[in-house]
Chains A and B, each alone.
Chain A
Amino acid sequence: MSNAAPADVDTLQQLLQDQGYLADRGLATATYISMKLGRPLLLEGEVGVGKTELAKTLAALTSRRLIRLQCYEGIDTSQALYEWDYARQMLHIRALSAHQLTDDESVDSLFGEGFLVERPLLEAVRAGDDCVLLIDEIDRADDEFEAFLLELLSDFQVTIPEVGTIKAESRPIVILTSNRTRELHDALKRRCLYHWIDYPSAEREQEIVQTRLPEVSEVLAANAVAAVHRLRGLDLSKPPGVAETIDWVSAIQAIGAHDLDDQTAIVTLGSVVKDRDDLKSVERRIGEIVGAD
């Protein structure tokens, strides 16, 4: 597969589907626009609706490398962009002084490429359209870190004081994801396209389960999806995402069951409901959740 953008939205949707990712029209259009215009795409949505998965799938279908930057509180340039290899620099200095080499050139060499340790963002700028850059869970990083991404997102370049500005020769596909633990700054949002991913409809979710787990029977997939939709209606503290549905169906299958009944549901519930209070309230109403046949 070439790494150029697909001809139209339908083609992209089909390509994604061939990779096992079912995107609705809205998400496919947003992705298409992002690839065509070369702008980063910011995905927000509930946990487990396939935000990260989209980046992985895009990388697979365009045969690009996936470069992933997982954000966390306190992340800074030395973890996201670059770091100097201090141990090597010091050894080199010792070697230089042993040979009485103190001219400018040998000192300059200390800040050459050889001593630069690439981190994901620099790697992505260098790789250009050879990669898909995934900046995952950007809301976990401190808000100062967002400011630091602005240069990258608008001009696809990074500045390293000792070396200068490095600009991407071609634009990578950039996907940012956020779970909305906090509101992102407008400055960041302005540089991105925005798409909110909702939970899929029951039919769509069943298709997703069957695409991901082709060996599962249609009945089991349909019943599990229906049960998950009832769970989402329960006002749980942590409603299950699509990833949980898939986990649940694999768990049911792993214990050798072919359909969903109360007993099967109880023993596998841990893969779909992951909060103790939620578990208690779901267990009490398990009959209702599984649904009477």
Chain B
Amino acid sequence: MPTDQAPLRRLLDFCSVLRLEGVNVGLDNTMAFVSAAALFESGRLEDIYWSGRTTLAHRRAQIPIYDACFTRFFLGGNTDDETTRLPARFAGPESDAVVNVPSGEPREDGGDEQQTSLGLSASAAAVDQSKDFAECTEEEHAAIRRIVASLKVAPPVRRTRRHRKSPKGGALDMRQMARDTMRNHGEPLDLARRVRKERARRLVLILDVSGSMADYSRSLLQFAYSVRQGARNVEVFCFGTRLTRITAALRHRDSDEALRRAGEDVGDWAGGTQIGDSLDQFVRQYGRRGTARGAIVVICSDGLDRGDPAVLDLALERLSRLSHRIVWMNPMKGETDDEYVAASLGMSVALPHVDLVWSGHNLESLVEFADVLPEIK
């Protein structure tokens, strides 16, 4: 039974449990946790709970994982323990619900293995750039992914508050002038000037991965990955019936691994479509918090919406007020260069709010889009 070392041991073990669940607990966090817990002589479980929560969890999403681990580790899953006083949200029915959070353990997935090996063998295959993604074979898809992966995509720029030197025009740069003046023994010889620096706008990609888009979603996801790798300020979301943020999953260096993780995060592949609800969810959860502000929002969807058109209309109206520009990529648009005529109810509702409709149904179109994007003013 417990020696003097036992409590410390137990705290450290708890940190390892968290690590196993995918919470990134570093040595510095562990040390902070132990010193925080040591502040409480009584050793009340509630104090240990909060010590851990402030030092070991770094973001809101980790709190349910932390709660589940804590319950399991310190209470053995038994929350009826009379001797401990726990915060209400921790002991309440909520904690049962959060035990089901996805663990960080990778799932075996045969399908992706196959894709990887195909990708290697098909690298040399010639690809018809104008062939519709829906008509491509597995080998062609793999080759397309390779080409898409090498695309350089740069979002358009906006002016920032910061400045850079510019001899022509702009405001006087007092800082620079003071420096030059000192060099010239106090004689101001030249006027230094500066202009605003420019910075890439944030790019938000919202991909439809419902059943009707199944032929295109993989290529578009690969496109999203390339964009994510090439530009700094990119957010990527997927939706079918609900919205999933996959920006973090796509951060992985290896593209196959990134796409596999993204695939795992999205729960509703090839299911139904609720564009309105999903976009509404985006605006509420992310858009209004600043993700969409001043951004270029690219929505990739065929516009076949099973939800209420009024919801889509309202969501897009809000989004258009928040964002800088909205681009709608619709593979069903096809080849035509003519003015796009909405073929679905969803699209006709969306059109008034959209600044540019692009096709994106084949490689050529995606490559062209990469060229057009920086020019969007």
A90 to B172, CA, bound (A): 14
Q: Which residues of A contact B178 (CB under 8 A)?
A: 84, 86, 89-90
Q: Is the C-beta of B254 less than 8 angstroms from some C-beta in chain A?
A: no
Q: Is the C-beta of B29 less than 8 angstroms from some C-beta in chain A?
A: yes
With A29-B47, A190-B28, A190-B29 known as contacts, the answer to whether A196 contacts B63 (CB < 8 A) is yes
A73 to B318, CA, bound (A): 22
Out of B24, B59, B89, B289, name the residue touching A194 (CB < 8 Å): B59
Which chain A residues (209-256) contact chain B, with CB distance < 8 Å? 235, 237-238
Min C-beta distance of B185 to chain A, whole Å:
5
| Interchain CB contact under 8 A, A37 and B58 | no
The chain B residue sitting closest to A193, CB to CB, is: B54
A97 to B314, CA, bound (A): 67
Q: Number of A interface residues, CB 8 Å? A: 52
Convert A76-118 into 0s and 1s, putting 1 for each residue whose CB lies closer than 8 angstroms to a CB of B.
1010000010110110011011000010000100100000000
Out of B46, B55, B187, B290, name the residue touching A97 (CB < 8 Å): B187
Out of A9, A26, A32, A33, name the residue touching B87 (CB < 8 Å): A26
Segment of A55-63, A121-129, A174-182, A261-269 in the binding face: A174-182
Q: Number of B interface residues, CB 8 Å? A: 45
Which chain B residues (155-200) contact chain A, with CB distance < 8 Å? 160-162, 174-175, 177-178, 181-182, 185-188
| Interchain CB contact under 8 A, B186 and A96 | yes
Q: Is the C-beta of B9 less than 8 angstroms from some C-beta in chain A?
A: no
Out of B35, B162, B187, B291, name the residue touching A37 (CB < 8 Å): B35
Which chain A residues (261-291) contact chain B, with CB distance < 8 Å? 277
* Overall SS of chain B's interface: helix
The chain A residue sitting closest to B283, CB to CB, is: A237
Q: Is the C-beta of B22 less than 8 angstroms from some C-beta in chain A?
A: no
| Interchain CB contact under 8 A, A33 and B182 | no
Q: Which residues of A contact B89 (CB under 8 A)?
A: 198
Q: Which residues of B contact A293 (CB under 8 A)?
A: none
| Interchain CB contact under 8 A, B174 and A195 | no
Q: Which residues of B contact A194 (CB under 8 A)?
A: 53-55, 57-59
Q: Which residues of A contact B40 (CB under 8 A)?
A: 9
| Interchain CB contact under 8 A, A30 and B50 | yes
Q: Is the C-beta of A259 less than 8 angstroms from some C-beta in chain B?
A: no
Q: Which residues of B contact A139 (CB under 8 A)?
A: 290
Out of B26, B54, B182, B288, name the residue touching A93 (CB < 8 Å): B182
Q: Which residues of B contact A110 (CB under 8 A)?
A: 182
With A97-B186, A237-B284 known as contacts, the answer to whether A32 contacts B39 (CB < 8 A) is yes
Q: Is the C-beta of B32 less than 8 angstroms from some C-beta in chain A?
A: yes
The chain B residue sitting closest to A32, CB to CB, is: B39
Give A contacts to B, CB under 8 Å.
9, 24-26, 29-30, 32-34, 36-37, 39, 41, 44, 72-76, 78, 84, 86-87, 89-90, 93-94, 96-97, 102, 107, 110, 139-140, 142, 179-183, 186, 189-190, 193-196, 198, 235, 237-238, 277
Give B contacts to A, CB under 8 Å.
24, 26, 28-29, 32, 35-36, 39-40, 46-47, 50-51, 53-55, 57-60, 63, 87, 89, 160-162, 174-175, 177-178, 181-182, 185-188, 248, 283-284, 288-291, 314, 318
For this complex, 23 residue pairs linking A to B, each with C-beta atoms less than 8 Å apart, are: A24-B87, A30-B54, A33-B50, A37-B35, A37-B39, A73-B161, A86-B175, A89-B182, A90-B178, A93-B181, A96-B186, A110-B182, A140-B290, A179-B290, A182-B291, A189-B58, A189-B59, A190-B29, A193-B32, A194-B53, A194-B54, A194-B57, A235-B284
Nearest 4 A-B pairs (CB), nearest first? A74-B161, A181-B290, A93-B186, A97-B186
